[in-house]
């Protein structure tokens, strides 16, 4: 009994010595402390494909930072990865966020869908813990005036506006200006908000949206009727906003209906710029254009990161996962500047972020406006060429020239 | 209650038609007709798409309604069984180089046996218990199957290529290449095959139920289990077979749609929802009702979507669903409630 007390005292003393030696400013935040970062993604359910990769990307970023010496300003404090499954359900996302905050997470990263982002943001705000959105497009999340929520990727407004602008610029540069489009989009807030932003900007640029066609992404099993309506609208281009599964259906239907348009053009489309799309859609997907947020394929850093991720997990690092990785770097950068892992101070440091990134084709550093939106976030245009997704516009980030007009289904155009 | 020959109630069909017509007139008045003249192709396409999809709905729903008719159980795991069959076919096509349609020879018997086993091992234990217990059991089974599929195959969407996409289908005298042209509308070959396949399988099921002694026994059990037992029919065995047949139907549907749908563990769910609507429309437990109901729902969905762009197609399906429950809760082919 006595020896145990002595041993305990000794250990406490030793710990105090270690802390005192390491301690610069805050002795309580010495090298033995870990800083918990919560990763919130759909690890099960239909969205688990990307959710799991995003979770792994958060873990990888944390390990990279720890390997490089942890947070220097906090005496090399290490980050600790904690993970939760939102299942893509708003309620679960909110309770998981709460659990992590109760466990001492100082910042949250997630979540992939707009609906779950909304409830996590509410929870984070209530508990005053910073929340970095890696992927969730709807603008309504940030419109609440939350102080603790930040987003790196472009929102729906930016996606829609750039989508229209890029379409005009590309078509004019290729000598075949677009005057009218038929727009097919999934009917939830994601598709609707992107469509509305596109329509407004298009109108300003002199492009008319002659037909809007919507569908329910969860229940649709054939888009032939929709494509026939788009064909009947007699527009120059078909624009599409949706997810992966319906994107494939659209490519199939377009190949059958063969609308007489100059191009099929995705805006924030979850299918056309994924590596698996040319594989799954086959020839039907040729020449599809897609204006979307994306990692920068021309960047060395992005290439190396993706390579390491693939070696590590055996899966390709899609754009969503690159955003998750970036989100952890934003937190680490803020921790360095704050010199504190206290959530409120961390929040203030994040708000002051000006972080150069080579992972994304953004024309400036990551900087947040007063709503928490990254002001320099912008999409780029990709195209399926020879079975590969390549960046084609803006020129600065282009790997190949855009092919336009691009009628995907006709042999050799 | 089920499988007795019944005529389509003229009144119910008239009510249904009247409802839809009233809806159309309410929304557009005379515009609808001139619109239809201007958009002939859109309309024909909606008809073609609705018909083709409706055939598949029918096959899915027939399995569901058969199970309800004989076992008096609403099987919430129906969609999950469909996904299971699709993955079985997918594995055969992707790993063993099977023709997707040939994989029917595996997926259908496989799911039949699985259905028999599930009935024998799980459902047989709750046959005498309250309805909720059966519902919860099948619901739990659905979650179990979907998550097991997720564990094994992940949520990555899988696709299977239509084997005759390049070569066309050789029919001896000619080679059919898709897509077919139907008065200006297109009919994708794999969808046409799924539709025809559904009709053939439905025909087989009718034959079995109507013309064989096994079918007679199944119908007897559906009609009056006690009476059937009295004349020496093994009721438990018929329950097993009926459940197996219902599952085999949905397996066939799953394999038939595989060449044009991408596959995820939750793919069956969307068909599950539609199947419940179809089964209610056609009359619970009525196989003929499921066939007609499936095609009707396919048409309602597509025509509705064509007439009112900007509204989800399923809106009209649920309008029909609610109208059915209000005006004719026993369904088009059901007897008195």
* pTM of the full structure: 0.80
- Which DSSP symbol is given to B78? H
For residue A296, report the phi and psi dihedrals to the nearest 5 degrees.
-90, 105
Measured between beta carbons, the chain B residues lying within 8 angstroms of A218 are 270
Measured between beta carbons, the chain A residues lying within 8 angstroms of B309 are 211-214, 229
> What is the biggest distance separating any 2 CA atoms in chain B, rounded to whole angstroms?
63
The strand pairing partners of A214, in sequence order, are A185
Residue A148 near residue A344, CB atoms below 8 Å: no
The answer, for A316 touching chain B at a CB cutoff of 8 Å, is no
- The chain B residue lying nearest A224, using CA atoms, is B49
- The chain A residue lying nearest B178, using CA atoms, is A256
- Among A122-131, B122-131, B168-177, B312-321, the range with the most confident prediction by mean pLDDT is A122-131
- For A257, the closest of B186, B274, B306 (CB atoms) is B186
Instruction: State mean pLDDT over A191-209.
Output: 95
- CA nearest to A209, candidates A256, A248, A245, A167: A167
Looking at per-residue confidence, does A142 or B310 come out higher?
Answer: A142
- For B188, the closest of A46, A224, A280 (CB atoms) is A224
Give, for B191, the enclosing helix (H) or strand (E). Answer: helix B189-211
For the stretch A41-97, pLDDT in tens is 998 876 787 899 999 999 999 999 999 999 999 999 999 999 999 988 899 999 999
For the stretch B169-188, pLDDT in tens is 887 777 888 788 888 888 98
Looking at per-residue confidence, does A138 or A64 come out higher?
Answer: A64
- For B186, the closest of A52, A224, A229 (CB atoms) is A224
Would you call A214 and B186 a contact, using CB atoms and an 8 Å cutoff? no
Q: Where are the alpha helices (DSSP H) in A206-243?
A: 224-232
The strand pairing partners of A133, in sequence order, are A110, A151
Residue A306 near residue A316, CB atoms below 8 Å: yes
The reported pLDDT for the residue numbered A77 is: 93
The strand pairing partners of A184, in sequence order, are A213, A240
Question: At residue A137, does pLDDT exceed 60?
Answer: yes
The reported pLDDT for the residue numbered A408 is: 58
Q: For chain B, what is the mean pLDDT?
A: 87
Looking at per-residue confidence, does A11 or B107 come out higher?
Answer: B107
For the stretch B24-76, pLDDT in tens is 665 555 565 666 666 788 888 989 999 999 999 999 999 999 999 999 998 99
Instruction: State mean pLDDT over B113-124.
Output: 95
The reported pLDDT for the residue numbered B25 is: 62
Interface test with chain A among B36, B42, B51, B80, by most A beta carbons within 10 Å: B42
The percentage of residues in chain A with a pLDDT greater than 70, rounded to a whole number, is 91
- For A46, the closest of B39, B188, B266 (CB atoms) is B266
- The chain B residue lying nearest A278, using CA atoms, is B159
Looking at per-residue confidence, does A113 or B237 come out higher?
Answer: B237
Residue B31 near residue B273, CB atoms below 8 Å: no
Inter-chain CB pairs, A–B, below 8 Å: 103
The answer, for A52 touching chain B at a CB cutoff of 8 Å, is yes
The reported pLDDT for the residue numbered B121 is: 94
The reported pLDDT for the residue numbered B48 is: 92
Instruction: Please report the residues numbered 30 through 49 in chain A whose beta carbons come closer than 8 angstroms to any beta carbon of chain B.
Output: 44-49
The helix/strand/coil state of A368 is strand
- Which DSSP symbol is given to A207? -
Question: At residue A285, does pLDDT exceed 80?
Answer: yes
Instruction: State mean pLDDT over A308-315.
Output: 93
Q: Which domains does chain A have, with CATH numbers?
A: 21-154+298-351 (3.40.50.2300), 157-292+379-397 (3.40.50.2300)
Other Cβ atoms within 10 Å of A163 Cβ, number: 28
Q: How far is A54 from chain B (nearest CA, A)?
A: 14
Q: How far is B90 from chain A (nearest CA, A)?
A: 14
Would you call A224 and B49 a contact, using CB atoms and an 8 Å cutoff? yes
- CA nearest to B27, candidates B16, B17, B19: B19
Looking at per-residue confidence, does A190 or A365 come out higher?
Answer: A365
Question: At residue B335, does pLDDT exceed 80?
Answer: no
Question: At residue A166, does pLDDT exceed 90?
Answer: yes
The percentage of residues in chain A with a pLDDT greater than 90, rounded to a whole number, is 69
What is the interface pTM, i.e. ipTM, of the complex?
0.78
Would you call B186 and A226 a contact, using CB atoms and an 8 Å cutoff? no
Measured between beta carbons, the chain B residues lying within 8 angstroms of A232 are 39, 41-42
Would you call A226 and B305 a contact, using CB atoms and an 8 Å cutoff? yes
DSSP string, A149-186: EEE-S--HHHHHHHHHHHHHHHHHHTT----EEEEEEE
Tokens of A63: 């390990």
Measured between beta carbons, the chain A residues lying within 8 angstroms of B270 are 218-219, 221
The reported pLDDT for the residue numbered A406 is: 82
- The chain A residue lying nearest B317, using CA atoms, is A219
Question: At residue A174, does pLDDT exceed 50?
Answer: yes
Would you call A214 and B157 a contact, using CB atoms and an 8 Å cutoff? no
Question: At residue A281, does pLDDT exceed 60?
Answer: yes
The reported pLDDT for the residue numbered B24 is: 64
The reported pLDDT for the residue numbered B162 is: 85
Instruction: State mean pLDDT over A22-36.
Output: 53
The percentage of residues in chain B with a pLDDT greater than 70, rounded to a whole number, is 89
Measured between beta carbons, the chain A residues lying within 8 angstroms of B154 are 48-49, 52
- The chain A residue lying nearest B311, using CA atoms, is A214
Q: How far is B287 from chain A (nearest CA, A)?
A: 23
- CA nearest to A32, candidates A46, A17, A42: A17
- For B314, the closest of A211, A216, A231 (CB atoms) is A216
The reported pLDDT for the residue numbered A18 is: 44
For the stretch B174-223, pLDDT in tens is 788 878 888 888 898 999 999 999 999 999 999 999 999 999 999 999 99
- The chain B residue lying nearest A51, using CA atoms, is B155
HSE value, Cβ hemisphere, 13 Å, CA-based, for A347: 19
Measured between beta carbons, the chain B residues lying within 8 angstroms of A46 are 155, 264-266
Q: How far is B122 from chain A (nearest CA, A)?
A: 25
Would you call B42 and A225 a contact, using CB atoms and an 8 Å cutoff? yes
Q: How far is A382 from chain B (nearest CA, A)?
A: 22
Instruction: Please report the residues numbered 258 through 297 in chain A whose beta carbons come closer than 8 angstroms to any beta carbon of chain B.
Output: 276, 280, 282
Q: What are the residues of chain B with a beta carbon less than 8 Å away from any beta carbon of chain A?
A: 39, 41-42, 45-46, 48-50, 52-53, 147, 150, 154-157, 159, 161, 165, 178-179, 185-186, 188, 191, 257, 260-262, 264-266, 270-271, 273-274, 302, 305-306, 309-314
Question: At residue A6, does pLDDT exceed 80?
Answer: no
The answer, for A210 touching chain B at a CB cutoff of 8 Å, is no
The reported pLDDT for the residue numbered A19 is: 44
Looking at per-residue confidence, does A369 or B155 come out higher?
Answer: A369
Cβ-count burial A250-285 (b if 16+ within 10 Å, e if not): bbbbbbbbebebbbbbbbbbbbbbbebbbebbbebb
Instruction: State mean pLDDT over A213-239.
Output: 89
Q: How far is A266 from chain B (nearest CA, A)?
A: 19
- Could you tell me the pLDDT band of residue A25, with boundaries at 50, 70 and 90? very low
> What's the gap between Cα B223 and its chain centre?
23
The reported pLDDT for the residue numbered B52 is: 94
């Amino acid at each position: 009994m006595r020896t145990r007390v002595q041993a305990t005292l000794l250990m406490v003393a030793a710990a105090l010595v270690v802390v005192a030696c390491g301690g610069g400013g805050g002795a309580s935040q010495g090298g033995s402390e870990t800083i918990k970062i919560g990763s919130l993604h759909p690890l099960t359910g239909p969205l688990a494909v990307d959710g799991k990769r995003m979770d792994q990307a958060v873990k990888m970023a944390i390990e990279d930072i720890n390997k490089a010496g942890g947070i220097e300003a906090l005496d090399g404090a290490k980050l600790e990865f904690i993970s939760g499954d939102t299942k893509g359900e708003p309620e679960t996302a909110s309770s998981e966020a709460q659990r992590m905050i109760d466990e001492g997470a100082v910042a949250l990263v997630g979540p992939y869908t707009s609906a779950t982002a909304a409830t996590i943001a509410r929870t984070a705000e209530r508990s005053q813990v910073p929340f970095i959105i890696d992927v969730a497009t709807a603008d309504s999340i940030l419109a609440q005036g939350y102080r603790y929520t930040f987003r790196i990727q472009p929102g729906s407004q930016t996606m829609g506006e750039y989508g229209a602008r890029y379409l005009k610029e590309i078509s004019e540069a290729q000598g075949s200006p677009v005057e009218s489009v038929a727009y097919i989009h999934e009917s939830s807030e994601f598709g609707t908000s992107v469509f509305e932003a596109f329509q407004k900007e298009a109108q300003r640029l002199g492009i008319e949206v002659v037909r809007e066609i919507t569908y329910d992404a969860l229940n649709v099993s054939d888009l032939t009727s929709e494509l026939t309506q788009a064909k009947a609208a007699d527009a120059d281009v078909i624009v599409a906003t949706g997810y992966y599964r319906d994107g494939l259906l659209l490519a199939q239907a377009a190949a059958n209906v063969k609308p007489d348009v100059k191009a099929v053009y995705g805006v924030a489309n979850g299918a056309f710029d994924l590596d698996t799309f040319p594989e799954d859609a086959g020839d039907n997907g040729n020449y599809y254009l897609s204006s979307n947020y994306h990692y920068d394929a021309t960047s060395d850093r992005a290439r190396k990161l993706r390579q390491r991720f693939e070696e590590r997990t055996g899966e390709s690092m899609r754009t969503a996962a690159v955003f998750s990785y970036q989100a952890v770097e934003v937190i680490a950068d803020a921790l360095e500047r704050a010199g504190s892992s206290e959530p409120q101070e961390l929040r203030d440091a994040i708000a002051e972020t000006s972080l150069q990134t080579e992972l994304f084709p953004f024309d400036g550093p990551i900087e947040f406006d007063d709503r928490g939106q990254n002001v320099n976030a912008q999409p780029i245009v990709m195209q399926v060429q020879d079975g590969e997704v390549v960046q084609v516009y803006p020129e600065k980030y282009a790997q190949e020239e855009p092919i336009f007009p691009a009628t995907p289904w006709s042999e050799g155009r | 209650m089920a499988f007795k020959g019944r005529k389509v109630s003229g009144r119910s069909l008239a009510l249904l038609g009247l409802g839809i017509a009233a809806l159309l007139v309410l929304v557009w008045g005379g515009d609808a007709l001139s619109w239809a003249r201007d958009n002939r192709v859109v309309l024909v396409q909606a008809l073609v798409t609705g018909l083709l999809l409706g055939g598949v709905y029918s096959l899915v729903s027939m399995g569901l309604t058969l199970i309800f008719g004989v076992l008096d159980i609403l099987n919430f795991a129906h969609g999950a069984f469909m996904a299971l069959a699709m993955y079985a076919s997918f594995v055969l096509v992707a790993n063993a180089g099977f023709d997707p349609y040939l994989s029917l020879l595996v997926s259908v018997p496989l799911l039949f046996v699985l259905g028999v086993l599930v009935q024998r091992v799980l459902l047989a234990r709750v046959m005498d218990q309250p309805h909720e217990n059966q519902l919860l059991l099948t619901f739990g089974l659905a979650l179990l199957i979907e998550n097991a599929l997720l564990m094994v195959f992940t949520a990555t969407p899988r696709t299977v290529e239509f084997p005759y996409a390049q070569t066309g289908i050789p029919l001896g005298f000619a080679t059919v290449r898709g897509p077919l042209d139907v008065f200006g509308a297109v009919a994708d070959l794999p969808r046409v095959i799924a539709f025809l396949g559904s009709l053939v399988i439905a025909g087989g099921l009718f034959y079995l139920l109507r013309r064989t002694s096994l079918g007679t026994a199944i119908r007897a059990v559906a009609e009056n289990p006690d009476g059937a037992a009295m004349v020496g029919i093994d009721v438990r065995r018929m329950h097993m077979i009926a459940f197996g047949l219902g599952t085999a139907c949905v397996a066939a549907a799953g394999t038939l749609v595989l060449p044009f749908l991408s596959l995820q563990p939750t793919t069956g769910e969307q068909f599950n929802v539609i199947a419940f609507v179809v089964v209610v429309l056609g009359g619970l437990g009525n196989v003929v009702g499921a066939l007609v109901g499936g095609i009707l729902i396919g048409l309602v969905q597509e025509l509705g979507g064509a007439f009112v762009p900007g509204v989800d197609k399923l809106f009209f399906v649920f309008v029909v669903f609610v109208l059915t429950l209000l005006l004719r809760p026993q369904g088009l082919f059901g007897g008195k409630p």
